[in-house]
Amino acid sequence: MASSLTTASNGTFDSGKTFLGHPRGLATLFFTEMWERFSYYGMRALLVLYLVSGGADAATGSQGGGLAMTAATATAIYSVYVSMVYLMAMPGGWFGDRVWGARKTVTIAGFVIIAGHVSLALPGQAMFFVGLALVAAGSGLLKANISTMVGHLYDGPDDPRRDGGFTLFYIGINLGAFVAPFVVGTLGEKVNWHLGFALAAAGMALGLACFLSFSKSLSPTSSLVPNPLSAEEKKRILVKASLVVALAAVFYGVVVGLDLFTLNWALVPLTLAGLLIPVAVLVRIKRDKDLDKTEQSKMNGYIWFFVAAAIFWMIYDQGGSTLSLFADDKTGSIFGFDPSATWYQSLNPMFVMALAPVFAWLWLWLARKNQEPNTIVKFAMGLVLVGASFFVFIVPMGMAGDGTMVSPMWLVSIYMIQTIGELCLSPVGLSVTTKMAPKKYASQMMGVWFLAVTAGDCTTGLLSLAGVDLNGTGIIALQAALAVGAGFAVFMYRKKVQAMMGDVH
């Protein structure tokens, strides 16, 4: 039986030093993740704009040198790429649990991400897609394990500092995400795309250096492999992996040989996989006979959070595609100044850093008065707010329909509403995942949480591949109504879900 990564270090690790009242290791993970997110969000701010640059959907006056794709294709690639980043978090958690341990997995991930950004910095479409694949794989290896390592620093799920620690960690994520579009985005969009991608590689290198230099501040539990593979399991997995690779090679070899290959031959299977794999993983965990009755009940409750999160991220992650393309083409100046399209990507992390301390204080203040909303209600609030942001988006879309340039303040308000929703849902989602994780699936449950992002983004990607115009008023209104409706459904069934969660609140 695997030991729990969230409880194995209970009471066994105390460095005696603190970081804002939290274990000192939180500072190491804070700055590591800050620089990793600098590299990721800097590159992501450039991605859609680079893909359309030089083509019919590029903004007037933008530099050439991109891949000259349509907005629909760029949105599909963006959505599939982001979904793959989070899909890879599941095998990333598995490697942490069963092969390398969390600390070693994060180290390897850092080197893979650097290689990915360096590939993006090299000219050529082939190197571009190699770079995307490497960044997705490395980010997946890193994400689940570094979040789990935050959990290792605390004395189990009931440590009162735990939610606050995850909130501070979340600020580190957003500090890197805030700076990146101004630095990486401006360099890439205004000077040279590939220099921007190279700067993203430098950011990840700084994060890895921080992690390796101060790793002694981390919990010893992070170096353990809680459920190592047996020799028989290793052999069986290698055989299965080799078979899958061989079948894929034969299939795509035939497609290329018949001169039938197009980009959709890669995008459609990945999109479908991103929708089907999360379902398969949840079913596999639910059917595991090693889970006791309490763990089974918690998994039933967790499915509610998973579906809610998938709907939330389906809308939220369009901030880097649908909203970014709108900013590039439909927004005018403010006080005589024309902001770069990449700069809008800094709005969300800016609002997070401004509002996260307020929300952390608000939850504690309400808790003292016995009035803090529970996790279920916070999720419902997040869904309603993200839906409301797209209802607001309908207004500037209608105004810009005849070619009118709209005020950037419309996008500012949309990102702010989405951020408030994010603060209701995302930090508590990370925390509740570690609390409700079955012992056997400790790090892997962080991967399951990130699969909700995969499912949401793959839904967006599938819509784009099917020819749906995501800039159309009808589809925006439909998504908004879905999110608001789901939020009310979660709220109405909150007592039923709470019963499934048992002692988790």
* CATH at 183: 1.20.1250.20
In a domain, 294, yes or no: yes
Q: Which tokens go with 434?
A: 């570690």
Residues 248 and 318 in one domain: no
157: alpha, beta or left, given left = phi > 0 and alpha = psi -120 to 50?
Answer: alpha
How far is CA 267 from each of CA 261, 271, 331, 332, 476, rounded to the nearest angstrom? 11, 6, 30, 33, 23
Q: Are residues 100 and 243 in the same domain?
A: no
Residues 257 and 219 both lie in one domain: no
Tokens at residue 113, please? 């991400």
For residues 52 and 136, membership in a common domain is answered with yes
End residue of a domain, out of 261, 281, 302: 261
pLDDT at 2: 31
Q: Is residue 4 part of a domain?
A: no
In this structure, the answer to whether residues 250 and 161 fall within a common structural domain is no
Total domains in the chain come to: 2
Domain span at residue 412 reads 18-228+262-501
What is the per-residue pLDDT for 6? 35
**Residue recorded with tokens 């749906």:** 468
Domain annotation covers residue 243: yes
**Are residue 398 and residue 270 in the same domain, yes or no?**
yes
Encoding tokens for residue 262? 């197009």
Q: Which amino acid is at 105?
A: T
Of the three residues 216, 246, 261, the one that is the final residue of a domain is 261
Q: What is the pLDDT of residues 276-293, one digit of tens each?
A: 998 898 888 888 888 888
Is residue 446 included in any domain, yes or no? yes
Q: Is residue 1 included in any domain, yes or no? A: no
Phi, psi of 344 (to 5 degrees): -60, -25
Task: Look at residues 261, 280, 314 and tell me which one is the last residue of a structural domain.
Answer: 261
Residue 178 phi/psi, 5° resolution? Answer: -70, -45
How far apart CA 314 and CA 345 sit, in angstroms, is 17
pLDDT, position 379: 92
Residue 298 domain-assigned (yes or no): yes
Does 307 map to a domain? yes
Examine the domain organization and report whether 169 and 236 are in the same domain.
no
**Same domain, yes or no: 183 and 241:** no
Residues in CB range of 435: below 8 A, 6 or more apart: 6, 157, 504
Q: Say whether both 252 and 285 belong to one domain.
A: no
Q: Please give the torsion angle defined by the CA atoms of residues 282, 283, 289 and 292, in that order, rounded to the nearest 10 degrees.
A: 50
Q: How much is the pTM?
A: 0.85
Examine the domain organization and report whether 256 and 403 are in the same domain.
no
Query: Could you tell me if 185 and 342 are in contact, meaning their C-beta atoms sit under 8 angstroms apart?
Result: yes
Reduce the DSSP state of residue 15 to 3 states and report it: coil
For residue 133, with 0-12 CB atoms within 10 Å meaning exposed, 13-18 middle and 19 or more buried, which class applies? Answer: middle
Q: Does residue 436 form part of some domain?
A: yes
Say how far apart CA 219 and CA 13 lie, in whole Å: 6
Containing H/E element for 207?
Answer: helix 193-213
Query: Is 390 in the same domain as 455?
Result: yes
Q: How far apart are CA 113 and CA 205, in angstroms?
A: 9
Bridge partner residues of 23 (DSSP) = 18
Q: What is the pLDDT of residue 61?
A: 56
pLDDT < 50 regions, the chain: 1-12
Task: Identify whether residues 107 and 251 lie together within a single domain.
Answer: no
Contacts with 341 (C-beta within 8 Å, 6 or more apart), sequence order: 49, 59, 189, 324, 327, 328
